[in-house]
């Protein structure tokens, strides 16, 4: 094998052996898990949710990991792509029934619950709307993964009872 081929093979395999940790994380809350992931962002007793264009159902911002990416970085990247909001990723709060890792995330800049949240141009094919919801506003029939709705509400209640952080 030529040197050029060895270099190409090494570059192709690099993501499999080294995790990409290029995302803001709460110090002391870093982990090395790799999985599909998303952010649970709560503020003033409300949670930030997106409405998926296909199906019109609600869910947290999140999605599929890229090669070599840490789950926390997947949560960060997907949240930024879908909402335009920069976050700092905190602790993992739950692994959902489908293996999706849910992390507590904190807006890097102050976000107000009453401010309009326009969907970024770059995510309009995937996201039709986003907004802040109280638990009382949430309905199982509106949830993207209805079989996880009760578990999500339990996680949300747990997180709403905690003091705001960082």
| Whether the predicted pLDDT of 81 surpasses 80 | yes
d(CA 47, CA 133): 5
Residue 165 resides in a domain: no
- pLDDT at position 108 is 87
Top-confidence range, 2-6, 9-13, 53-57: 53-57
- pLDDT at position 164 is 77
Token pair for 121: 């141009």
Q: What is the pLDDT of residues 25-65, one digit of tens each?
A: 999 888 889 999 999 999 889 999 999 998 999 999 999 99
The residue behind tokens 């940790």 is 21
Which residues are CB-neighbours of 105 under 8 A, at least 6 positions away? 39, 40, 41, 75, 76, 79, 87, 88, 89, 90
Q: What is the pLDDT of residues 99-145, one digit of tens each?
A: 999 999 999 887 555 677 889 998 899 999 999 999 999 999 999 99
Residue 98 resides in a domain: yes
Which DSSP category does 149 fall into?
A: H
The residue behind tokens 């709560």 is 42
Strand partners, 59: 50
| Whether the predicted pLDDT of 166 surpasses 80 | no
Residue 130 resides in a domain: yes
Residue 100 resides in a domain: yes
Count of domains forming the chain: 1
State how far Cα 34 lies from the chain centre.
13
Token pair for 122: 């770059």
Residue 7 resides in a domain: no
| Whether the predicted pLDDT of 17 surpasses 70 | no
Q: Is 148 helix (H, G, I), strand (E, B) or coil?
A: helix
User: Of 93, 51, 52, whose CA–CA distance to 72 is shortest?
Assistant: 93
Where in the sequence is the domain holding 80, given as residue range(s)?
Answer: 20-160
pLDDT (average), residues 73-90: 95
| Helices (runs of H) and strands (runs of E) counted in the chain | 3, 8
Token pair for 30: 């870093």
Q: How many CB atoms lie within 10 A of CB 28?
A: 7
Residue 10 resides in a domain: no
- Comparison of pLDDT for 69 and 110, the residue scoring more: 69
Residue 94 resides in a domain: yes
Residue 13 resides in a domain: no
d(CA 129, CA 61): 11
- pLDDT at position 79 is 96
- Comparison of pLDDT for 163 and 35, the residue scoring more: 35
CATH number of the CATH domain containing 92:
3.90.79.10
**Whole-prediction pTM:** 0.83
């Amino acid at each position: 094998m030529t040197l050029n081929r060895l270099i190409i093979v090494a570059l192709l395999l690099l993501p499999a052996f080294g995790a990409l940790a290029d995302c803001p994380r709460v110090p002391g809350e870093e982990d090395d898990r790799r999985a599909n992931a998303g952010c649970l962002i709560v503020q003033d007793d409300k949670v930030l949710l997106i409405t998926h264009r296909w199906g019109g159902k609600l869910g947290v911002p999140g999605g599929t990991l890229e090669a070599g990416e840490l789950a926390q970085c997947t949560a960060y990247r997907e949240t930024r792509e879908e909402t335009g909001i920069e976050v700092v990723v905190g602790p993992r709060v739950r692994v959902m029934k489908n293996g999706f890792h849910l992390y507590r995330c904190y807006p890097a800049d102050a976000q107000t619950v009453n401010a309009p949240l326009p969907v970024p141009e770059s995510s309009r094919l995937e996201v039709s709307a986003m907004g802040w919801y109280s638990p009382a506003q949430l309905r199982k029939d509106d949830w993207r993964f209805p079989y996880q709705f009760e578990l999500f509400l339990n996680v949300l209640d747990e997180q709403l009872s905690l003091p705001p952080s960082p």
